Amino acid sequence: MIPANSSAAQVAEGPRRKSPSFKRWVVLVSAALLVLLIAPAVANLVICRIEQARHPVPGSFYQVDGRQMHIYCAGQGLPTVVLESELLDDWLDWQKVQPELAKTGRVCSYDRAGLGWSEPQDGPRDALHIAGQLHTLLQKAGETGPFILVGASAGGLFAREFTSIYRVDVRGIVFVDSATPEQIKALPGREDSNEKRRMRHHRATWRWIQETTGWARLSGRCKGAVVKGLELYAGLDAAEKCRPAYARSWLGEYDDVWRSAAEAGEARCCGDLLLVIVSRDPEKGRSADETVVEPIWNSLQENLKRLSSRSRRIIARGSGHDVMIDRPDVVINATRGIINEVRGNTSEAKYATTTVQ
């Protein structure tokens, strides 16, 4: 006979059951880990809502192509100035300029889809579509023009496309160190590639993961950071940070900027339109790479005068690329000059000239 305490008997009896205390321990540990994973994500969303409630963005929202878009207008009197931001930037960049221009007349800043406070949108984000959405937004906001467009960097490409399509509504343009279609090939290392695209999509996905899990906020990367002179807007800037829905929403605009450049190059702009090119200071101290690029950029800026028979260029002394931040006074005065000409006031501006201010 086989002894009752043999291994065969133990097999017949089956495996021993785990103790209830062990099961409770597993459940508690699993629950704790789940809370540790979920709590930061929930906290981030709650803090985002709190910050948005504490710092409501000025302006209004209108539905364009099925999504809410943000526009902020101030001042009275035609023509209406429309501020077009740099690539991936929003209305806040203009808050050294807009309040002053609002003393002269009507001026509007806005957020392109997926930036600032305008909801993300699927589909193309090239100059053609951006111009169309801006036109719809202005119509819905009751801003009928005539318009003066002020475009910074890539915003200059969008302004050119808008002018080409809606020429009857536009009276003048101010380019603020504007991007040019030619710079893609003229400047070294500016052309896009599959590898560059893959890397920026990878970075955006990683950013989305960090913001969605709440890790970005835990590590202190959700604080507002405004330039000197815009301290009053720090709360609004902080309210824009670490919103998971916006972590990847800028990719479309970045991916399509090369197409935007090509479209702007083909656009019919600007004929005899009043045009002022405000450029950064080519003599300002820069890195070795920028020193190589600067003569090319300066030449491209000078060539923009060829777009209109009523153009002139102003070099903003001491300014970097963000002229509206470094030298807002130059942008303000250039825009006011066009406003006065549109209103029929006598102008002392000399066309086809380049001056330094």
pLDDT at res. 284? 76
Percent of the chain with pLDDT over 90: 75
Domain locations in the chain as residue ranges: 16-54, 60-356
| Positions of the chain with pLDDT lower than 70, given as ranges | 1-20, 26-37, 285-289
30 by DSSP, 3-state: which?
helix
pLDDT on residue 22: 72
Give the list of residues 6+ apart from residue 182 with CB closer than 8 angstroms, or none: 265, 300, 303
Closest to 337 measured CA to CA, from 134, 180, 229, 329:
329
Distance CA 331, CA 353 (A): 17
* Backbone conformation region of residue 294, classed left if phi is above 0, alpha if psi is from -120 to 50, else beta: alpha
CB contact at 8 A, 293 and 156: no
Domain 60-356 has CATH 3.40.50.620: no
pLDDT of 247 reads 94
Q: How many angstroms from the chain centroid is the CA of residue 124?
A: 16
Read off the pLDDT of residues 284-305 as tens digits, 9 standing for 90 and up.
766 656 778 899 999 999 999 9
Strand partners, 277: 175, 313
Residue found under tokens 């930036």: 115
Burial of 121 (0-12, 13-18, 19+ CB in 10 A): buried
Contact 317, 281 (CB under 8 A): yes
- What does each C-alpha distance from 275 to 250, 305, 310, 338 come to in angstroms? 29, 8, 6, 8
Distance, CA of 80 to CA of 102 (rounded, Å): 10
* Residue whose tokens read 């508690």: 28
pTM of the full structure: 0.88
pLDDT of residue 32: 64
- 130's tokens: 């951006």
Burial grade of 98 (CB within 10 A; 0-12, 13-18, 19 or more): buried
Contact 325, 227 (CB under 8 A): yes
pLDDT of residue 2: 43
